[in-house]
Amino acid sequence: MKWFKNSHYLTTLGAIFIGFLLIMLLKSPASGGQTEAASAVMLVQLELENQQLANDNERMQQELTKYYEGQSAYALAQEQLFKAQLSAGVLSVRAPGLRITLNDSKDPVTEPNDVAKYVIHEAYLREIINCLWSSGAEAVAVNRLRVTSNTEIFCSGAFIQINGSRQMPPYVIEAVGNTDEMQTALNFLYYWTELGSYSQRYGITREVEFKDEITIPAASLRQYRYIEPGKE
């Protein structure tokens, strides 16, 4: 008990214990928020879905109101048909837009390990088109083929299959809509920047032109085999 007789040890021990308690005092109880985070995500999803539904309901309500206010059922039906043709992409449209040209390099391959970087891959087309849609493009075509709900852009060896048709480079993507927004979005796209550096290093073509008027061609009406009307 020699140590206990020494006041230094005693005060040191006391100080450690006090320090420990002070730390405990400063600590706040942990909050269990994992389930709350999951609920918050679900809530956001549901609210956005509600917003979509409300917008769509409002659109239909407006069309019905026109009918109730005296517009003939025939005129309304024709208007509805026209809008559906536009949104399905079976009507050609014209507007200011961007024309993007991508082409394989014509330079001799000097860096064999990077041979894939001398050619245009289908992923570039997909990513650019996705970027154009996300920045408000109203209609898009690749090599004069309209991009619709069923358009595939699939690499099949030396060519890329688009709407069931074999396409060779150069690939010309045309998009109409707000050109400033589309150009800004492209500048933030990883692939776009990569293609810019490939054009300097490997000689591929990556060009963009602003056009006052571009005509996007119409798609063919698709016939469905397995689909039947369903319920929400």
Partner 1 sequence: MKFWRKELIFPVTMVAIVLGFLISLQMQTHKKSVTEANKINQERTANMKTVMANTQEENERLKKEHQDLIVSMDTLQERGSDPLDIELLNNLMIMDGTRAVQGLGIQIVVDDRIQEHKTVFPLTANELLEMINVLRFAGAEAISINGQRIVGATAIVNSGTAILVNQVPIRRAEGIPYEFNVIGDQETLVDYFTNLEAVTLKEKGGMAVSISKKTVQIPSYKGSYTFKYAKPPASLE
Residues 177-196 contacting partner 1, CB under 8 A: 177-178
- Contact pick of 99, 121, 201, 222 for partner 1 (by CB under 8 A): 222
Alpha-carbon distance of 146 to 151, in angstroms, equals 8
CB 125 within 8 A of CB 101: no
Is residue 121 within 8 Å of residue 204, measured between CB atoms? no
Task: Show the binding pattern over residues 67-86: x = contacts partner 1 (CB under 8 A), - = does not.
Answer: x----xxxxxxx-xxxxxxx
Q: Which is nearer to partner 1, 15 or 109 (CB)?
A: 15
Q: How far is the CB of 116 from partner 1 (least distance, A)?
A: 17
Q: How many residues bind partner 1 (CB under 8 A)?
A: 106
Q: Residue 166 CB, nearest distance to partner 1 (Å)?
A: 13
> Taking CB under 8 A as the rule, does residue 165 contact partner 1?
no
CB-CB contact of 213 with 94 (8 Å)? yes
Nearest distance, CB of residue 21 and partner 1, angstroms: 4
Helix (H) or strand (E) holding 195: helix 190-201
126 binds partner 1 (CB under 8 A): yes
Q: Which of 172, 206, 190 is nearest to 97 (CA)?
A: 172
CA angle 37, 39, 41 (to 5 degrees): 70
- Per-residue x/- marks for partner 1, 51-70, CB under 8 A? -xxxxxx-xxx-xx--x---
Residue 38 binding partner 1, by CB under 8 A: yes
Does the protein bind partner 1 through residue 208 (CB under 8 A)?
no
Peptide bond into 169 cis (omega under 30): no
Binding of residue 170 to partner 1 (CB under 8 A): no
Q: How far apart are CA 91 and CA 89, in angstroms?
A: 5
- With respect to partner 1, which residue has the nearer C-beta, 67 or 168? 67
Nearer residue to partner 1 within complex by CB, 94 or 166: 94
Binder of partner 1 out of 176, 186, 195, 204 (CB under 8 A)? 176
* Terminal Cα distance for the chain, rounded: 82
Using rule CB under 8 A, residue 210 touches partner 1: no
- Asked if residue 216 lies in contact with residue 139, where contact means CB atoms within 8 angstroms, the answer is yes
Does residue 16 bind partner 1 (CB under 8 A)?
no
Backbone angles phi, psi at 219, to 5 degrees: -90, 165
